[in-house]
Amino acid sequence: MKYQRVTLNCPTGGTLYTENLDVLGTSRDPEPGSTQGNTVLAATAPHLCGLGPRAAQPETRHPHPKQCRCGGAAYVTVPQAINMMEAVPFAESIGLPLVAHLTIYWAVTEAGDDPDGKLFAKVREGLDKWLKRRGIEFAGAWARECPGGDAEHCHLLFHLPRDCRQGPTLIDVEEVICRLVDRHSGGVWGDGAIKLVIWPNPDGKYLIKGGGLEVWKRFRLRTEHRRLQGTIQGKRCGTTENIGSRARRRSPALHNRGEGLSC
């Protein structure tokens, strides 16, 4: 597959975002097929980079039958939300800040959907292997969403070292993600399938916006983010083991969160 790279003026003027993920007007989900997709935004990379659709294919959503999601999880539970909200500051305290926010829209891929989360798991596994080959430890928190009961999309907040957050190295990260999604989904059929954004200090609240009233109140989510994100079959959200509950219990960094290394 050939990748089409487009360079445009960045609407942010090349300024790194300063808002957290739960702040109004930031990190909003674009509609599948919108021109907001496939973006990498960083302080020293004032351009948009994207994976275009396959040649000779219309830039419209590829039609697929609607998947049944009877009996799945309707929302992020309180224990799940606590796990992710504790994982984000813990990752920063051990020198693995979760600054890269990946969103994948399966509706504009050949697969059309990821109803059991297996495609997303393969993408995470492939990204883990790619990063490890370059001496980078993979750490992340993730969530699957399906508002409206149609096709799923998913979010992954993961660690990238400082020298990977801009320039050619960041483009390399985006391209490997594009290849992974293309390989495991059978092909990308339109713009907006992949979005990668770099944030300076995300708090992770965007990942738990699919929680219920108790989650929203407990973590003080903004009103506009307080909406259920559909029924999900299988595991709805989670973290990598190195920042999970067991790792946090074993680590002395829990008692020295403010003394973690910056990366």
For 4-43, write each residue's pLDDT tens digit: 332 223 332 332 333 344 333 333 444 444 434 444 444 3
Contact status, residue 24 vs residue 97, Cβ threshold 8 Å: no
User: pLDDT value at position 93?
Assistant: 95
Record the pTM.
Answer: 0.74
Token pair of 177 as six digits:
């993600």
More confident of the two residues 202 and 28: 202
Average pLDDT (198-223) is 90
Compute the distance between CA of residue 58 and CA of residue 221 in angstroms, rounded to an integer: 38
> Which 3-state string (H, E, C) describes 239-262?
ECHHHCHHHHHHCHHHHCHHHCCC
User: pLDDT value at position 71?
Assistant: 61
Q: Which of 139, 149, 170, 135 is nearest to 48 (CA)?
A: 170
- 103-141 per-position pLDDT tens digit: 999 999 999 999 999 999 999 999 999 999 999 999 999
Estimate the crossing angle of helix 118-133 against helix 167-185, to 10 degrees: 140
User: pLDDT value at position 127?
Assistant: 98
User: pLDDT value at position 140?
Assistant: 98
Q: Which of 48, 39, 12, 59 is nearest to 103 (CA)?
A: 39
